[in-house]
Structures are given as C-alpha cells and as structure tokens.
Amino acid sequence: MEAFGLLLQGFTVLLTVDKLALMMLGLVLGIFVGVLPGLGGPNGVAILLPLTFTMDPTSAIVMLSCIYWGALFGGAITSILFNIPGEAWSVATTFDGYPMAQQGRAAEALTAAFTSSFIGSIVAVLLITFLAPSIAGFALRFGPPEFFAVYLLTFCSFVGLGREPKHKIVVSLALGFLLAGIGMDTVSGTLRMTFGSTELLRGVNFLVAVIGLFGISEILLTMEERLALRGHAARISLRVVLDVWKTLPRYWATLIRSSAIGCWLGITPGGAIAASFMGYNVAKRFAKDKESFGKGRIEGVFAPETAAHAAGTAALLPMLALGIPGSGTAAILLGGLMVWGLNPGPLLFVEHKDFVWGLIASMYLGNVVGLILVITTVPIFAAILRVPFAAIAPMILVSCAIGAYAVQNAMFDVWLMLGFGVLGYVFKKLGFPLAPLTLALVLGSRAEDAFRLTMIGSGGDLRVFWSNGLVGFITTLALVLLFWPLISSGREALMRAAGRLRTA
C-alpha cells in the first residue's frame, strides 16, 4: 500500500502544465529519433542532455525519459516498413514485421509492435514500482561469471533453437565474433586487426553494421528483383487496431514469457538486444507451427517487441536503486543525475522521493500517451508504403548514410555501411542468416570481456561457471539449448526404437 501512496505522490509532482508539455515534446522527439536509422535512443538522449541542465531535475528526467520511450516506439517503424532497424533491438522485429508489410499488413504489424511495446514497458514499470528492493538485491549477485553465462545462453539459444541449417548459424556467429574483435582490446589495451588503420581503432560500430546489413542489402535485393517500381499499398482504420487488440488474449503466453525474459535481461543486465532475440526464439520454440515464423506471423512481432521494451524499461531499476546502469541510455541518464547533484542508489529513494516517484509516474503516463500518439499517427507511417519505391529508395539511402555518419561523425562509417550492405546482400543470396551475425557483433566484445575477467579471477578454472546456484543454472541451461537438436534427435531415435520393439 505504501507504493500506491508514493506513486500517487509522484503523479501530483508530474501533473503540471510545464511537465506535461515537456513529456509531449520528449515523446515527439523520441519517435523521430527512433525512426532515423543509426541515431537511436542513447544518442538522442545524449545529444539533448545539455538542453536540460538549466531545468530542475524532475522536469529534465521526465523529458529525457520520454525521449527514450518515444525512441522505443519509433524504432519499429522503419524495421517494419523498410526492413531497416531503427534500433539494434529492432532487428528481430524485421523477421516477421517486414514480411507482413510486404503482404499488405503494414498497419497490423505496426499496431502489434506499438501495443506489445506498451505491454512490455508497463510490466517492467510495475516491477520497478513494487519489487524494487528485492530486485536490487538480486542484481548485486551478478559478477563477470553471471554476465558471461547470460551471453552464452543467448548465443546457444540461437544455435539450438534456430530453424536455419546449424552450420550456417555457426558461420554467421563466428564472423560476428571476428568483427567484434576489431579495435582495442579493453582488457589488455592491445590493438587487434586494425591493419594500421586509425579508423579501425574504435572498432566496428554495430549500428553502422546493422544499417548496412539490413537497409542497404534490402535496397540491393529489391532493385535486383525489380520490385521497386511501386510501393506496397496500405490502408488503416480503427477496425485494424481493434482487430489486433482482439487477438491479444490468444497470445497471452507469448506476452508473459517475453515480458519475463525482458525484465530479467534488463535488470541483470543482459540488454534489450539479447532480450529481443531470445524472446523471438522462445516464441518460435513454443509455437505449434514453427515454419510460419519469418513469413509474416504476428506473434513474431509481439515477442521481440515485448521483450525488448520490458528490458529497456527494467534497465532503469539498477540505475536508480544501485547506481549501476543497465543500458547505454541508463548510463547517460546516470550522468545527468550526477550533474543535477543527485547520487543514484538506495538513499535516492529516501532523500529524493519526489524525484524518484515523479520519474516512475512519468513511465506510466509517458507510455500511455506514447501509445495513443503512435497509434493515431499509424496512417502517416503506413502511407509511406504507397510511395513508389523508385522514388523513396534514394531517400532511404540518404537517411541510412546520415544515420551511419551521425553515429561517430566519421565518413569512414558511411563506407563501412556500404561494405556491410554488400555483405548482407551476399548472405541473403546464399541463405545465411543475418541475425546471428548481428547478435555476435553486438554482444561479442561484452561476452569476451566477461569471460576473460572470469578466467583472470578464477585462475583459468572453468568450474567457476558452476561455483554457485545462479551461474550454474544459467550455464547448464545454455548447454542444454546448445545441444538441444542432438537431444531431440536422440529422443526421437529412442522413441522409434521403442516403437519397433513393441511392434516386434
């Protein structure tokens, strides 16, 4: 009951004209930030952070957090309409969202993405509201072994649960790990695979790679297949929105599973990227018709969007309660708190109740207003598909180039984006999946750092991954998923043998 009282107090702090205006401004800016490939929530918050230094802390954090919520919603727009992930965690949304748009179901896919984003975020906010003390204590148990076990679980789920040929998944993962190793080794400080290039010292930025792999390669494929002469027709009505909402009870298990995965990986923190891929793979695993995934199944939009947004929201909990940022955006907000003279941690909930509960109240209101805003503007985004692709393709190409350049203000990244576009085109032609490559490129360096720190701490003893119940459970689950195809085939062989014995 105390949480309810504090939450109501937070709403009284939030419900003023100036803070509501800042919230709306933040949401609109965030949607545009999410739509522009390469910019994304963390960069958008970082760019606009200096504008808030003259504001009071509550107004500033409300505006910045609403930019984040808007970017979370907006990241799905280009993923579904043009197969260009607006955010790295939107990659999994393209698997079924873009095929739905090709089938003339763009409005349905967008509505599904926005609705599941809202559900995932609200579940995470409820978790923050009522379980903050116990969740904060759980997060303190995570060290390098636990972090590596979470990353291992994500990689193994791709190999074990993926429907593509296993050797192609492994090749894609291996290439991603190789690319992730370019640049300066964060543990030893030595340079790796830079070949004397100063541009490669900072490594390969995953947003640049994602824009090329998915955006540029899709333009090349569309031009080759001569599908670019006219855009896909799309119509939108309130009936479409209501029809999508009517299907939600049918997918209640997927929504609950994805929300749980997202909250777990957001708090630990595994991150929204890992959550989106894991949510998608788990939904595919539990589906009766697995072959329909990747061909325009609405459940393939619900699962990654719910997981990603639950993770993105839950990442704010360890930042507020412990001062440990669970995501890039949370790290930027952490810096803002310190500039405003606030020290994140358990005492923040005691010394600055108005600030903390005003922020939590803005999470509720910002997501509700954000959902209404994007749902009502779906016709604008869906109407883009009516424009002939021959006219829109140059705009997409320029947008991709601007996004790639904006990541680090480097022309080299534009050329790198084009190179990844060719690589993505070749992979698609040869039938190699791009998702494992992207996942390894994004999480490979983090997994390597966690593994090496673990080995340094344990003296090279691999038994450290079973040194306690938490890390042991995660590691064992990862290995089970890795060898799940062998386990399944062995079980089927035993059942066939038992059947032959019974008939004999």
**What radius of gyration, in Å, describes the C-alpha atoms of the chain?**
23
Structural domain includes residue 9: yes
Over residues 402-461, the pLDDT tens digits come to 777 876 778 888 888 888 888 988 888 888 877 788 778 877 887 888 888 888 888 888
Report yes or no: 359 and 61 within 8 Å, Cβ to Cβ. yes
* Secondary structure percentages of the chain, helix, strand, coil, to 5: 80, 0, 20
> Could you read off the pLDDT of 165-212 as tens digits, one per residue?
788 888 888 898 888 888 877 777 778 887 877 777 777 877 678 778
Check pLDDT > 70 for residue 42: no
Residue 62 lies in a domain: yes
Q: Is residue 504 part of a domain?
A: no
The answer to whether residue 470 sits within a structural domain is yes
Residue 501 lies in a domain: no
- How sure is the predictor about 395, in pLDDT bands with cuts at 50, 70 and 90? confident
Cα–Cα distances (Å) from 188 to 14, 176, 449, 453, in that order, read 47, 21, 10, 11
Segment 54-83, tens digit of pLDDT? 777 778 878 877 887 787 777 777 778 777
- For residue 479, tell me if it sits in a domain: yes
Banded pLDDT at 236 (limits 50, 70, 90): low
Residue 412: inside a domain: yes
Residue 406, in any domain of the structure? yes
pTM score: 0.66
> pLDDT digits over 357-390, tens only?
788 888 888 888 888 888 777 666 556 555 666 7
- CB 162 within 8 Å of CB 281: yes
What percent of the chain has pLDDT above 70? 80
Confidence of residue 3 (pLDDT cuts 50, 70, 90): low
**b or e along 289-317 (b: 16 or more beta carbons within 10 Å of the residue's beta carbon)?**
eeeebbebbbbbbbbbbbbbbbbbbbbbb
Give the domain range for residue 73: 2-495
Number of structural domains (the chain) is 1
Give yes or no for residue 139 having a pLDDT over 70. Answer: no
Q: Output the six-digit token pair for 161.
A: 């649960």
CB contact burial 27-66 (16+ within 10 A = b; e otherwise): bbbbbebbbbbbbbbbbbbbebbeebeebebbbbbbbbbb
Helix orientation angle between 299-314 and 272-286, rounded to the nearest 10 degrees? 150
C-alpha distances in Å from residue 4, one per residue of 8, 10, 361: 6, 10, 11
